[in-house]
């Protein structure tokens, strides 16, 4: 059982935040006309969560995602003012890739790596949470290749390092997810056209959502973006109805996370 408090610095949830429909509503709150869906780009979320909360076990990270999604249903005083339709999480399973390290030529089975096992466990915990729908794309194994890390490349170009000093740790696997953005766009369109919700919260920092956001707004959906305190392009403000982060700001864990811009 997790605490009924939200993450440090966030708004308080009314009850155990693992429950999608809190108990003890007044009739007014329970009959709220706002029905919200929360869409989470897991790749983006995991990068920001690692920076904000540090490395956590997969179960704790899955519950953290769930709490953040539910905190979007609260007002500034922590009162639940919207009802939850569903939490959609978009990711891809780890690549089932076998190959060799670029320098040492040591055999690698990425599907058995610690990172792959962590990601699979993360997905499994998400599936067990209330009102969470996991949407998985894929990573084509034929398109996986080694890529020199940016800092190593800069060191080579500047002359601070030479090619003789390059080792396996200077490379990373370029794993490109396929089908994730398409699934986000399709779900936004489906929710909007079927009028299943009247508010949509997207946790992402990618600007690829703009066409889908325009469609949803034309259909009367209140579109809120949560970039988890990352910087977004100034022109994106015209394509959303609100900007709101409910997680702690990186480097300032005790600061309240209310950050709303309404249009």
Domain boundary assignment for the chain: 1-139+176-263, 140-174
CATH superfamily of 1-139+176-263: 5'-nuclease (3.40.50.1010)
pLDDT digits (tens, 9 = 90+) for 212-248: 999 999 999 999 999 999 998 887 888 999 999 999 9
Q: Predicted confidence band at 81 (pLDDT cuts at 50, 70, 90)?
A: very high
Structure pTM? 0.79
Residue 6 has pLDDT above 80, yes or no: no
List pLDDT tens digits, range 161-212.
999 999 999 999 888 888 899 999 999 999 999 999 999 999 998 888 899 9
**CB of 122 closer than 8 Å to CB of 93:** no
Q: In 10 A of CB 157, how many CB atoms?
A: 9
Confidence tier at 143 by pLDDT (50, 70, 90): confident
């Amino acid at each position: 059982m997790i605490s009924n408090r939200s993450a440090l610095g966030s708004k308080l949830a009314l009850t155990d935040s693992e429950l999608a429909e809190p108990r003890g509503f007044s009739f007014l709150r329970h009959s709220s006309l706002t029905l919200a869906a929360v869409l989470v780009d897991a790749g983006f979320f995991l990068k920001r969560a690692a920076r904000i909360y540090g490395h956590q076990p997969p179960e704790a990270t899955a519950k953290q995602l769930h709490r953040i999604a539910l905190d979007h249903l609260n007002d500034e005083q922590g009162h639940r003012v919207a009802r939850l339709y569903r939490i959609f999480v978009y990711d891809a399973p780890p690549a089932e890739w076998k190959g060799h390290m670029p320098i040492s030529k040591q055999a690698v089975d990425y599907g058995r790596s610690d990172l792959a096992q962590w990601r699979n466990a993360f997905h499994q915990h998400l599936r067990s949470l209330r009102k969470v729908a996991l949407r998985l794309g894929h990573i084509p194994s034929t398109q996986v290749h080694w890529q020199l890390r940016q800092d190593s490349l800069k060191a080579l170009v500047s002359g601070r390092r030479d090619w003789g000093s390059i080792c396996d740790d200077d490379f990373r696997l370029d794993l490109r997810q396929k089908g994730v953005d398409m699934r986000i766009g399709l779900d936004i369109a489906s929710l909007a056209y079927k009028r299943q919700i009247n508010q949509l919260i997207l946790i992402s920092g990618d600007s690829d959502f703009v066409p889908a956001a325009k469609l949803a707004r034309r259909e009367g959906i209140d579109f809120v973006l949560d970039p988890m305190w990352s910087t977004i392009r100034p022109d994106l403000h015209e394509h959303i109805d609100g900007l709101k982060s409910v997680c702690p700001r990186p480097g300032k864990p005790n600061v309240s996370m209310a950050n709303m811009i309404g249009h």
